Amino acid sequence: MKHRWILGLAVTALTAASYAQWSNPADDVPAYHASAPLKVSALPAILSGNKLTGNNFRYPWQVHVYQQAAKVGNVIYQLPCNCRCDRALGHTSLRSCFEGMHGTECSTCAKEGFYAYQQTKLGKSPAQIRAAIARHEYESIDLEKQ
């Protein structure tokens, strides 16, 4: 009986160790592209113009973030989205959020979009912005003031 208990404990410890050994911390980083797209024309368009109206665009910040996202499309292509829409919606980067309506309903996407635009205007590289997003610096964005 005592040996079964020890054996069970050993199996549990080995199982836990194997999961820790094979887990990849990079899996916790949301999807993004490491470099700018080769052909922007090959990507789905970021919503613009008369598509920025209707029930999904009730607040000025919703229209504004899409307008800004369109100006830095190559940059947001290289950024992850911390709402994890890569898992739930199959998005491949923050840019994907603005190719459809997701950016209107998700404050994380919107804040990251505003943050990316601001930081790009300040001369930051996509890698620098990506590092700041990983530190959650975008969370200080107040959507109502945008």
User: How do residues 54-64 score in pLDDT, each as one tens digit?
Assistant: 999 999 999 99
Backbone angles phi, psi at 70, to 5 degrees: -65, -30
SS3 content of the chain, % helix, strand, coil (to 5): 60, 0, 40
Is the whole model's pTM more than 0.95, yes or no?
A: no
Contact (Cβ atoms closer than 8 angstroms) between residue 66 and residue 48: yes
pLDDT for residue 1 is more than 70? no
Instruction: Count CB neighbours of 130 within 10 A.
Output: 19
pLDDT-derived band of residue 53, with 50, 70 and 90 as boundaries?
Answer: very high
In the block, tokens 């992850």 appear at: 80
pLDDT for the residue 75: 96
pLDDT at 13 over 70: no
DSSP state of 101: S
Answer yes or no: is pLDDT of 17 > 90.
Answer: no
